[in-house]
Amino acid sequence: MAIEVHPARELPRDELWNLVGTIRRELGRRGEILPPSWVDETVDGLAQGIGRGWFWGDRRSPAGLAVVWVRDRKAYGHLHGTGTPESAAGLVELGRHMAEHLGPDVGRLDMGSTGLSELEEGELGRRLSENSRFSKLLRHSMVRVLASTGPPPEPRWPEGVELTTVQHVPFGELTSLDWRTYRGTPDETLLSSTPAGNKELLENALAGLFGRYLDEASPAVRTPTGALLGFAVACQESLQSGILLDLAVDPDSRRRGLGEALLLRSLRALLALGYPRAHLWVTEGNTSARALYEKVGFAVDASAMIYRWVRDSTSLPPQPAASSP
Ligand SMILES: CC(C)(COP(=O)(O)OP(=O)(O)OC[C@H]1O[C@@H](n2cnc3c(N)ncnc32)[C@H](O)[C@@H]1OP(=O)(O)O)[C@@H](O)C(=O)NCCC(=O)NCCS
């Protein structure tokens, strides 16, 4: 069956709104947070042709939708199937189409998917991987029950560190440490590929865009002379759950127990604030973070695949020099 792809702006607005709303609900169910205004902003953007998106199938009952956002020369896409027998095949076509229609300066696309059965998801991954520009990145959602298990152990801080909270650290120091700390990890550039983009994400987290920011559960540690060594950022995901959006320890201060102490401090604060569970996302290949989370009692409760497409680097225009955060 030939799969024809059309611009999303050709869909009736209500249909588009329903599809984008379904994506948000499905992502929310598996613990992926999007700002409340996301559905309306996405639909407005697609309808006006500012955002980019495509569908396949009938205009009045589309079989799949693809949407993509571009930030810092990096694209973030999403594929959604509506459960038709050809779902995976249609999404493969949408994924390829998306990769082919990014601007020439976009070097990478990371896409998630919803609306597929496990079998179809496997089929989507297999078919996309036939193209050598696509690879897969597995992310795990991990949960730590806080209520009914007794409080998490008291943190043991290494000697000579001072405890504060994220709100008391100058923002530039937070972003500079955050940017440095992810270098060389599998999460490098997953959420942002430039210091400015990274800064915006952290700014949004502290402004409560991903859920109310909880300073009591966001500890930071520094040396007596004020150098920042590490921090954690926690927000309210729901009344039942706090989410850890960031945990970063200076590369020169690792394996001293700081990451574990920051995490335990955050978990104890979440429990004291009344959240019965804590939640976070981690990439499969981030073995140090996963080992830490397992050590303090987190367990995987769901997983999601990210499909990554990378342009041939020889065809990319030169990147402007990155400004410091
Ligand atoms: C993950 C991270 C916060 C750990 O910080 P840390 O201060 O080095 O960790 P700790 O010294 O407290 O280690 C506590 C436990 O974590 C695990 N761990 C930490 N680093 C590890 C490594 N390199 N390899 C294996 N296990 C590791 C161990 O279980 C360790 O317990 P142990 O010392 O009894 O073996 C740090 O490596 C980091 O900032 N990484 C980059 C940012 C990141 O990936 N954040 C998580 C995003 S989801």
CB atoms within 10 A of CB 170: 10
- Determine if ligand 1 sits within 6 Å of the CB of residue 262: no
Distance CA 190, CA 204 (A): 16
Query: DSSP per residue over 241-270, as a string?
Result: EEEEEEEEE-GGGTTSSHHHHHHHHHHHHH
Cα of 66 from ligand 1 centre, angstroms: 36
Atom of ligand 1 nearest to the CA of 246: 47
- Determine if ligand 1 sits within 6 Å of the CB of residue 257: yes
Cα of 158 from ligand 1 centre, angstroms: 14
Element (H, E) at 136: strand 134-145
Cα of 89 from ligand 1 centre, angstroms: 40
- Determine if ligand 1 sits within 6 Å of the CB of residue 27: no
pLDDT tens-digit profile, the chain (325 residues)? 678 999 999 999 999 999 999 999 999 888 787 887 889 999 999 988 888 999 999 998 899 999 998 877 788 899 999 988 788 889 999 999 998 898 888 888 999 999 998 888 899 999 998 988 888 889 999 999 999 888 999 999 999 999 999 999 999 999 999 999 988 787 776 767 678 878 888 999 999 988 999 999 999 999 999 999 999 999 999 999 999 999 999 999 999 999 999 999 999 999 999 999 999 999 999 999 999 999 999 999 988 999 999 887 655 555 554 443 3
The answer to whether 73 touches 106, Cβ cutoff 8 Å, is yes
- Determine if ligand 1 sits within 6 Å of the CB of residue 248: yes
pTM (2 d.p.): 0.87
Distance CA 80, CA 90 (A): 10
Structure tokens at 98: 């998306």
Query: DSSP per residue over 24-58, as a string?
Result: HHHHHHTT----TTHHHHHHHHHHTTSSEEEEEE-
Structure tokens at 168: 């008391």
The answer to whether 157 touches 221, Cβ cutoff 8 Å, is yes
Ligand 1 pocket: which of 185, 252, 260 to mutate (most atoms <8 Å of CB)? 260
Q: Whose CA is nearest to atom 10 of ligand 1?
A: 257
Distance CA 98, CA 91 (A): 10
Cα of 283 from ligand 1 centre, angstroms: 14
Ligand 1 pocket: which of 139, 144, 292 to mutate (most atoms <8 Å of CB)? 292
Cα of 246 from ligand 1 centre, angstroms: 13
All structural domains of the chain, each given as residue ranges with its CATH number in brackets, are 5-131 (3.40.630), 144-303 (3.40.630.30)
Atom of ligand 1 nearest to the CA of 249: 39
CA 320: distance to chain centroid? Answer: 25
- Determine if ligand 1 sits within 6 Å of the CB of residue 142: no
